[in-house]
Amino acid sequence: MNLPRTNSLKQLHSEIITCARCPRLRAYCAEVGQTRVRRYRDQEYWARPVPGFGDPEARLLILGLAPGAHGANRTGRMFTGDDSGRWLYGALYEAGFANQPESVSRDDSLRLTGAYISNVVRCAPPDNKPAAAELAACRPYLEAELALLTRVRVVLALGRIAFDSYVRIRRAQGYDLGRPAFKHGAEYHWPGLPVLLCSYHPSRQNTNTGVLTPAMWRDVFVRARALVDGLD
């Protein structure tokens, strides 16, 4: 699949929003937007692919998995309107990357400074499980973002799938990465590339079970801040 021919994030976002490469995911997002859940039944769901969000001059790129069916698929902004977003934006605020800890809707005045958020697939998948072909179909958008976000010094991969997608892109670009393995807290310093920092994803599956604790999560962002500021 070719890279999108874009020279700005704005253009890229326009292309992403109208993408229809994955019929299964497009159908699922539309269906979720039609049926909704009781607590959001009066809201109109975004129900389209969700573009990246943040500062074009970002030095920290956060890479998640996919929009939540009733989170970003509802609100139209990355990690906005669900529990994962509460964890993420709370931590970004604490680390000085966000002007507020809450993220509830696209017009809630949230701004990021020095950080940008993306996902390895832009449409909510059933059971949060994108197929390999869907990951491959969406990968060129991440490649395009990586090319456009020229100031990134740290990539924070949230979960193994985000980690694998990023590694796959860099390998395809010809970088010799050795044999990196995903592990919470691991970091990789490869010549010519941003530092890759790994964390468990702040999904309820991890935060409700203690796999990812508030202290572990806070440490990730303390480390990300130090790396971004060149204090490592």
Segment 214-222 long-range contacts (CB within 8 Å, at least 24 positions apart): 216/184, 216/185, 217/87, 217/91, 218/91, 218/94, 219/185, 220/91, 220/156, 220/185, 221/91, 221/92, 221/94, 221/95, 222/95
Least distance in angstroms from the C-beta of 63 to ligand SF4: 14
Identity of the residue, 22 or 58, whose beta carbon is nearer to ligand SF4 in the bound complex:
22
Provide the residue type at 86 as one letter.
Answer: R
CA distance 156 to 92: 12
Q: Among residues 165 and 206, whose Cβ is nearest to ligand SF4? A: 165
* CB of residue 194 to ligand SF4, shortest distance in Å: 22
Residue (of 71, 132, 137) closest to 106 by Cα position? 71
CB nearer ligand SF4, residue 65 or residue 212: 65
Report residue 102 as tokens. Answer: 């809450």
Q: What's the closest the beta carbon of residue 11 comes to ligand SF4, in angstroms?
A: 15
C-beta closer to ligand SF4: residue 51 or 114: 51
Residues at the interface with ligand SF4 (CB under 6 A)? 16, 19-22, 25-26, 49, 121-123, 134, 137-138
Min dist CB 124 to ligand SF4, Å, is: 9
Backbone angles phi, psi at 163, to 5 degrees: -60, -50
Quick one: 18 or 34, whose CB is closer to ligand SF4?
18
Tally of CB atoms within 10 A around 158: 28
User: Which of helix, strand or coil describes residue 63?
Assistant: strand
- Least separation in angstroms between CB 125 and ligand SF4: 8
